Every structure is written in C-alpha cells, then in structure tokens.
A and B are shown apart, each in its own frame.
Chain A
Amino acid sequence: MSFWSLRAYALRRSLRLLARRPGALLLAVLLAGVALTLPLLAATVAVGARPLVAGVPAAPELSVFVAPGTSGPQIRGLQSRIEALPGVMQVRHVPREAALAELAARSGLGASLAELKSNPLPDAFIVALAPGVDPTAVDAAAAAIRKMPGVDTVQFDSAWYRKLVGIARIALTGSAIVGGALLVLAAAVVIGAVRLLATASGEEIRVLRIVGADEGFIARPYAYVGGAVLASATALAIGAVAAVLRLLNPALTELARLYGGADFTIPMLPVQVLAGLILAGLSIGFLLGTLGVGRPHPPKP
C-alpha cells in the first residue's frame, strides 16, 4: 500500500511541478527534442538506406588471374592456399569459360568472340576479405598471393580502398562525436530544467529533509518530471523525423527513378522501436531528473 501511495503522491507533486513552470519545461522539451532529432534522423536514414547499399561491396575484393597452362588440380590447390590466408573471407573461382560467356553477354561482342579459335581469358579468383580490414592487411594478402605458384596477376586498387576506409572512419568518428554531443546536450537540458525546478522549490526540499523525508521521497517527483520531459522530447524528435521523411521521400523516389531504380523511400523505424525509444527516454529522463535534484551536502564538523 505504502509503495503505491508514495508513488501516487510523487505523481501528484510532479504534475504540480509541471504546472508551476510550464513555459520553462516546454522549452526544455523543445531543446532536447531538437537535439535528439538529428541522431534519430541519421539512424533512420542508415537503417532505411540499407537495401540501397546492400549491393555495394563493403569488403575489399582482390582479382587473382591464374597463369596460362595451370592445370585443374593446381587451380584447386591454389584456391585452398588463398582460402587459408588470414583475413580471407571467401574465394570464388571464375572459370575461364564462364568469364568469356559473361564478357560476351555484357559487352555485346558475342558474335566476334564466338569466332575466336581459343579462349584468351584466364581462370580467375575473386577473393573477398573481411569488411573494414586495414588497407595494409589487404596489401599483405595481395603480396602473399602474388608469390604463390600459378598466379599470373593480382589486381587491387589499394589507393581507392585507402581513401574509402579513411572517409568511412572520418564519417563514423564525426557522426559519433556529433551524435554523442547532441545526446549529452539533451541530457544537460533535462538536468538543467529539473535543477531549475528544484532550486525554485528549495524551501520545500529543506522542509522535507527536516520532517524526515528520505532522498527517494524528495527526488521522485523531480525524477518523474525528468522522465516526462525526455519522453516528450523523444516523441517530438520522432515527429520531426517523420515530417522530414515526408518532405524527403518524394524527392528520393524521383531521384531513384532518374537512375533507373525501383521506387525508393526511407521508411520510419518500426513502431516497436519507436515505442522502445520513448520508453528509454522515460527511463533515462527519470535518472537524469534524480541527478538534477542533487543530494544534500553532509554538514561539516
């Protein structure tokens, strides 16, 4: 009984606190909501664009051309040795016949190629390394493959991969810093709003401590306010992202059509995820609200 009566009291107090400074709290919701919008939009775009980027090889691939005259068993042995190299995820053998057929199909030179007396193309391997592997590891794998008997040429655009990895690292680090800073800003806004309320209610808090209220009893209404502010800010950010996507998606669809692709739109995150985000906002806001009230300084001797 006491458990619920304490929380019912805290809920009534938190509603009074919300009513006491509605302007300041609405401003806090707005600020925290704006701060949360960008990371949420980035996450939504990242998840929504996944099908689009699925066709782009994220892992570096080496093209290994086998020396002419290499026998079938030698080719199979070579494949085994390449597969045994560290960092190699997959080795796909492209037989010379298949390579010629693909060239004929893609180039439109099928008739001319058919007149050739022999197939000029070698057997080849497409060697996929682990996604995001360090460029020096790719160079090391290429060098090791070059030394293997039966290998004619190894092709890999090392400079391009280095640039790609560099750009990806900068983008990831930048996103993490900006996203983290915005999340910290949202947290600071909630703590600041609650601290403002607690400072304005300093007399009440002093009285509560004198009459024997424990810190949980004192902090709970403020924790509820913190939870309400961050949950509302999260809901606001979700609404803002939905509005941005509503504006963005027609242009994206049109762009995809111009590039000959199918209709493409970035969908909102699933409802369950959005509900989870609001619940997370409520819980984290509760903790931030508790932090915002602060603890009494122990008296000095």
Chain B
Amino acid sequence: MSTAAPMSVAPIESPAPLVVFDHVTKRYGAFRLALAELTFAIGRSEFVLLCGPSGAGKSTVLRLVAALEVPSSGRVVVAGEDVARLRPRALPFLRRSMGIVLQDPMLLDDRTVLENVMLPALASGLPAPQAEERARAALTRVGLDALTARPQELSGGEQQRAALARAIVNRPALVLVDEPTAHLDAASAAGILQLLEQFAVAGVTVIVASHGESILVPARARTIRLDNGRLVE
C-alpha cells in the first residue's frame, strides 16, 4: 500500500548520477522528433538549467525524468532505475521521491492552498496532522502565508510558490520545474529562482526548464542547452 517501502526503486541518495539520459530519442507519432540521441548525466545536488527555444524538448526531458512519458529509444535512468522498465506499481514511489512543478501549477481550485500542499504527504500515507505540519513548513519555506486562500485568489507568483511548496512537502531529493518564471514579473521570477537555488544549496537536485533568455541564472547553475531535441555545445 502507500506506506510500503519502494519496491524496485533504488534509494535516491545513491552516489551514482541521479539522472542519466543514455542516447534518448523521443518521437510523438511517426514524424515529430522531440529528442534525438540525447546523452547527459546530472549528479546529486546539482542545479541544472535546461534552456532553449520553444519546442527544443525541455519539457519532454522533465516528463521523461518524471516517468510521465517513456523514451522511444535509449534509457532514462533515475536513481539507478531505468524508468521505462519500472512496473506501474513502482511509479508512485519514484514520483514521491521527486517534486514536480509543470508549466501549469495544477493547483486544485476546490481546496485551500494548505490542502493543496498537503496532498503529496497524504498520498504518501502520512496522517493528516503530520501532513498539515509538513505543508505549513513548506509554505513557510516558500514564503507563502495565504494558507486558507483558494488558488484562484492567488497571483501568478503566489501560485508558483504554492506549487513549489507542494513539490517539496515530501522532502524530495530531486525537484523538476518547468518554466517557473513564464508568466511572472521580474521580481517574482527572481524570488522563485532564488528559492530554487536555496533548495540546491540544501542538497536537493534541481532541474529547471526555461526558454527565457532573460532568466537570472544562479551562479552555481549548470546550463544544458537544447535545440530541436539535440544538445547544443
């Protein structure tokens, strides 16, 4: 059940690279090539910025890491496990070990911010009081105090912060963030990036996908450039 130890997912604290792309190709249908023979590795507590123009394949990389998609060929290895070979029952355990923020924050409108942030903790089997305690701590970490507000009452930046709080509530070792500053003003964008950098400093591996050239790249960030699904040296 939900609280059992991960069945076939290796501990994410493994000393080996946390994420490995090994000649990964991803096609959508017969003609659309999203990624072509992509090979790279990301180590523990790295801050990686995936950048490139729209359609470069950044979001596809994140979705492959999160096992929301499987590669057409090649291997995506996360914490030592080939995600395409994981049994469906093992996928939730993999996803609990990472925090995922997609382009759309995907906050549920019929719940308060606090309830939204509690969700991953509850899904992991934590009792409600502990889940709430963790959610409050995560919201404090991202600097959001509108606990009882509904997501639609928040600004774009606040929604991103709430989504980030939800991503870190299970204390993941890997955080994936897609276009965190897409619809934010400069101050909010800087705040979000600063927050992500703090996660990396605290030992969390952070992979951020962004098409913005103006994004303030943290000093410790390693940049992986993509164009048309290929690495750009």
Task: Please list the residues of chain A having a beta carbon within 8 angstroms of any beta carbon in chain B.
Answer: 1-3, 5-6, 8-9, 16, 203-204, 206-217, 296, 298-301
Q: Which partner residue on chain A sits nearest B27 by CB separation?
A: A301
| B2/A216 in contact, CB under 8 A | yes
| A212/B125 in contact, CB under 8 A | no
For residue A22, give the distance in angstroms from its CB to the closest CB of chain B: 15
| A301/B72 in contact, CB under 8 A | yes
Task: Identify the stretch in B116-124, B189-197, B223-231 within 8 Å (CB) of chain A at 4 or more residues.
Answer: B116-124
Q: How far is the CA of A3 from the CA of B1 in the complex (A)?
A: 9
Across the A-B interface, the 3 shortest Cβ-Cβ residue pairs: A212-B96, A213-B123, A212-B95
Beyond the given pairs A6-B1, A217-B2, 11 more chain A to chain B contacts, judged by CB atoms under 8 angstroms and listed by A's residue number, are: A208-B119, A210-B106, A212-B95, A212-B123, A212-B170, A213-B123, A298-B88, A299-B68, A299-B69, A300-B70, A301-B70
| B89/A214 in contact, CB under 8 A | yes
Contacts of B166 in A (CB 8 A): 211
Once A5-B128, A216-B1, A298-B88 are accepted as A-B contacts, the answer to whether A207 and B119 lie under 8 Å apart by CB is yes
Contacts of B96 in A (CB 8 A): 211-212
For residue B217, give the distance in angstroms from its CB to the closest CB of chain A: 26
Once A2-B3, A6-B2 are accepted as A-B contacts, the answer to whether A206 and B88 lie under 8 Å apart by CB is no
Contacts of B73 in A (CB 8 A): 301
Q: How far is the CA of A8 from the CA of B129 in the complex (A)?
A: 12
**Which residue of B94, B106, B126, B127 is within 8 Å of A203 (Cβ)?**
B106
Mark contacts of B83-95 with chain A using CB atoms, 8 A cut-off: 1 yes-contact digit, 0 otherwise: 0100011001111
For residue B99, give the distance in angstroms from its CB to the closest CB of chain A: 8
For residue A225, give the distance in angstroms from its CB to the closest CB of chain B: 16
Contacts of A211 in B (CB 8 A): 95-96, 100, 119-120, 123, 166, 170
Q: How far is the CA of A209 from the CA of B95 in the complex (A)?
A: 8
Contacts of B125 in A (CB 8 A): 2, 5-6
For residue B189, give the distance in angstroms from its CB to the closest CB of chain A: 23
Q: How far is the CA of A67 from the CA of B134 in the complex (A)?
A: 98
Mark contacts of B50-73 with chain A using CB atoms, 8 A cut-off: 1 yes-contact digit, 0 otherwise: 000000000000000011111111
Contacts of B170 in A (CB 8 A): 211-212
| B128/A210 in contact, CB under 8 A | no
Mark contacts of B153-180 with chain A using CB atoms, 8 A cut-off: 1 yes-contact digit, 0 otherwise: 0000000000000100010000000000
| B127/A212 in contact, CB under 8 A | no
For residue A301, give the distance in angstroms from its CB to the closest CB of chain B: 5
B108 at the interface (CB under 8 A from A): yes
Q: How many residues of B contact A (CB 8 A)?
A: 36
| A9/B88 in contact, CB under 8 A | no
Q: How far is the CA of A187 from the CA of B84 in the complex (A)?
A: 36
Q: How far is the CA of A298 from the CA of B85 in the complex (A)?
A: 12
- Find residues 186-228 in chain B having any chain A CB closer than 8 Å to their own CB: none
Instruction: Provide 11 A-B residue pairs closer than 8 Å at the C-beta atoms, listed in order of the A residue.
Output: A2-B1, A3-B1, A6-B122, A208-B119, A210-B68, A211-B95, A211-B120, A212-B93, A298-B88, A299-B69, A301-B84
B42 at the interface (CB under 8 A from A): no
Contacts of A5 in B (CB 8 A): 122, 125-128
| A210/B102 in contact, CB under 8 A | yes
Q: Which partner residue on chain B sits nearest A216 by CB separation?
A: B1
Q: How far is the CA of A299 from the CA of B64 in the complex (A)?
A: 10
Contacts of B122 in A (CB 8 A): 5-6, 9
Contacts of A216 in B (CB 8 A): 1-2
Contacts of B2 in A (CB 8 A): 2, 6, 213-214, 216-217
Residue among A214, A300, A301 having the largest count of chain B Cβ atoms under 10 Å: A214
Contacts of B100 in A (CB 8 A): 210-211
Contacts of B127 in A (CB 8 A): 1-2, 5
Contacts of A8 in B (CB 8 A): 128
Q: Which partner residue on chain A sits nearest B95 by CB separation?
A: A212
| A2/B120 in contact, CB under 8 A | no
Q: Which partner residue on chain B sits nearest A208 by CB separation?
A: B123
Contacts of B120 in A (CB 8 A): 211-213
Q: How far is the CA of A209 from the CA of B127 in the complex (A)?
A: 19
| B88/A213 in contact, CB under 8 A | no
Q: How far is the CA of A262 from the CA of B20 in the complex (A)?
A: 86
For residue A9, give the distance in angstroms from its CB to the closest CB of chain B: 6
| A301/B71 in contact, CB under 8 A | yes
For residue A234, give the distance in angstroms from its CB to the closest CB of chain B: 29
Once A2-B3, A6-B1 are accepted as A-B contacts, the answer to whether A207 and B108 lie under 8 Å apart by CB is yes
Contacts of A296 in B (CB 8 A): 88
Contacts of A300 in B (CB 8 A): 70
Q: How far is the CA of A209 from the CA of B108 in the complex (A)?
A: 13
Contacts of A1 in B (CB 8 A): 127
For residue A10, give the distance in angstroms from its CB to the closest CB of chain B: 10
For residue A62, give the distance in angstroms from its CB to the closest CB of chain B: 64
Residue among B84, B120, B170 having the largest count of chain A Cβ atoms under 10 Å: B120
Contacts of A2 in B (CB 8 A): 1-3, 125-127
